[in-house]
Structure 1
């Protein structure tokens, strides 16, 4: 029986753990939250931070694992590579994974290799950061370089906001590093989605339209709708540039999560290429729409097993993931869903009970629940996803 270690056992990280359980693999879970649901399916679980490189490696060696998975977690992805490299398990180069997982390293890599990149620098000193921000024309973003789930991100429109924005980002950064970068103006939807690398080649990718709720934040995705409505010529160009990036980093195998935009001049900007599966139920929606199971592929690739990954899997129908969220701080009362939206719900999972505290949605840690939806057309899909508060509303007490 093969033994697989999962870094993280949170609700969003359940799918590969459930898959491994169904396959009969021995399951080891690692994180510092004993109440996380993935631990209940584990043969053994360990109280250790998923970013503790040597701590996780020690556990992995004691357990003699056959594979390691960091699902939907940028902070844990370098740990999986570190352990995999040290133990000779299927993995990508540790330094390459760090380049993708840390925003300042990624921006520097893009600049050095001729990709489009915004003006950007990382700082630990707020005074130096503020001076750099002043040198940029227009708005800037402040972001922790090593967090995930869009936590700690602020769009800064005036200097009076900068101190609070910098400190807010630093609070989500393990290293205390904050990246300050110029705002980019996109044309059309930001593109999200997942892909899979096999033998150094982007063997599969499925891209979506990213949606935001400007009533509460406007910076954190509240869902992804599939398929992307951008023209094929732009998406094919993004595919070619992704392949160039993979070759430069010697990425050999595993899942990728994308966020990129095109400007009005059709210039491509990679915002993130995460060396892991996407959150927000992206792999599950892809499975509904294409039949391709990236969750299974992730686990089997980590174990060095064969897995099915068709070369061509056109998207069938119009699907979306949706992150249920609150527009204010308070206590959870109930979820109100319109009649027309009820008929479009394929899956629903609520994480809160009446009376539980909820917060204004500012990051994935503020999630109230999730949905998978199916629509009748691309037009309907985009129109409803862009105005979801009309049909789905969290009532707070």
Structure 2
């Protein structure tokens, strides 16, 4: 029996662990906390920070693993590549892992390979950001290699710039650098895909909406295979060409773009699937492709025999990842109503709340502080919008 190591063991890695088990693999899981939920589904659980390469390598050697993988976690990707390289296991390689997790390197890649990119600058001081703001106008600053929108800030004036810079750089690995970019005003999209022997294949596209109080935090990802306003075929071609140019050897991918003046500009790309169960649940729903079976087969060094192609019968299907916006205005939650009825609907794939009775809830500061979500699908946009309305009317909260 082959043994797979999954690095990171939070909620979003559980589907990957369960898939590996269903395929007959033994699973070793490493994560920072002793009560990590991933341990419950694994054969072996070991406590280790996902960013601690040497400790994870020791764990891998202890269990004599046959492959190592992660998903829905940027910060684990370099560790996976390091462990696999040290043990001569299938890997994307440490240089590719760096390219797909370092936002400055992504910008440099787009510039040298002639893909659309916004004006950008690597900054290590407030004065550098202030100069860039004066030159460009509205900008966005980000940590170089963080995740979950931590330390991301949109800036259109000099006020408070020092505190925003300090917040952003604390999440960068080097603790001092941030990337500043021209803020693109266009609509934002996500696109998930898979690297095949014939090249990259884009599988699922979403159009993003954001919370009104923070345009860096997504409130809704609406997935469809066609769009009456935006050219999804152009987005697929752009994304496939970019990933192919990056020469990722295998794996699943997630990328985010903004549309402006007829072009899709890369915001970021990742050598892992989209978070909050986009990779595990939504991609197969929208494409018919078992991306996890392919990924696990590749990291185990085995041959994948199934044909990888989009299911044309799903052309009209739509899915949504909806994040809830609940503000109790300082009052504790008294009762949560309607949850069981929502979960009983077979078209509601997943539903989760990050709070309970007695908690005080408010607006999100980053992706991880959003208070709840649901994933649902239907066979047309009209039907899905109707279902979304039903879900949101069914959930009621007393304070």
TM-score, structure 1 as length reference: 0.87
- Deviations 1:15-44, CA, capped at 9 Å, x for gaps: 101112223321111121222210112222
What is the match of residue 68 of structure 1?
Answer: 68
Q: 1:276 is matched with which residue: 256, 272, 277? A: 272
Deviation at 1:175, TM superposition (A): 2.1
Q: Which moved more, 1:70-79 or 1:224-233?
A: 224-233
Aligned to 1:255: 252
The answer to whether the Cα contact below 8 Å between 1:201 and 1:252 also exists between their aligned partners in 2 is no
Q: Quote the RMSD (CA, aligned, Å).
A: 3.0
1:112 matched to 2:118? The reply is no
Using the alignment, how far apart are the partners of 1:341 and 1:289 within structure 2? 21
Q: 1:47 to 1:235 in 2, by over 3 A?
A: same
Does 1:191 pair with 2:201?
Answer: no
CA contact (8 A) 1:6 1:29 kept: yes
Distance 1:289 1:247 in 2: 22
Greater Cα offset, 306-315 or 96-105: 306-315
Which of 203, 206, 209 is the aligned partner of 2:207? 209
In 2, the alpha carbon distance for the partners of 1:322 and 1:312 equals 24
Structure 2 Cα separation of the partners of residues 332 and 145 of structure 1: 37
Q: Matches of residues 1-397 of structure 1 in structure 2 within 5 Å? A: 1-136=1-136, 138-176=137-175, 177-186=177-186, 189-199=187-197, 201-214=199-212, 216-230=213-227, 234-263=231-260, 265-283=261-279, 284-307=281-304, 308-314=306-312, 315=314, 316-327=316-327, 331-335=332-336, 345-356=348-359, 358-375=361-378, 377-379=380-382, 381=384, 391=393, 395=397
CA contact (8 A) 2:194 2:200 kept: yes
* 8 Å contact kept, 1:325–1:366: no
Q: Mark the CA change 1:36 to 1:376 in structure 2 (over 3 Å): closer, same or farther.
A: same
> Structure 1 residues 68 and 17, CA, compared in 2 at 3 Å: closer, same or farther?
same
Distance 1:165 1:16 in 2: 35
Compared with structure 1, are the counterparts of its residues 233 and 360 closer, same or farther at alpha carbon in structure 2 (3 Å cutoff)? Answer: closer
Unmatched tracts of structure 2, length 5 or more: none
Deviations for 1:346-373, whole angstroms, at most 9, x for unmatched residues?
Answer: 4323343322454521223213333111
Number of equivalenced pairs: 391
Matches of 1:359 and 1:226 in 2, distance apart? 27
State the 1:153 CA deviation: 1.2
**SS of structure 2 residue aligned to 1:101:** coil
Structure 1 residue ranges without an equivalent (≥5):
none
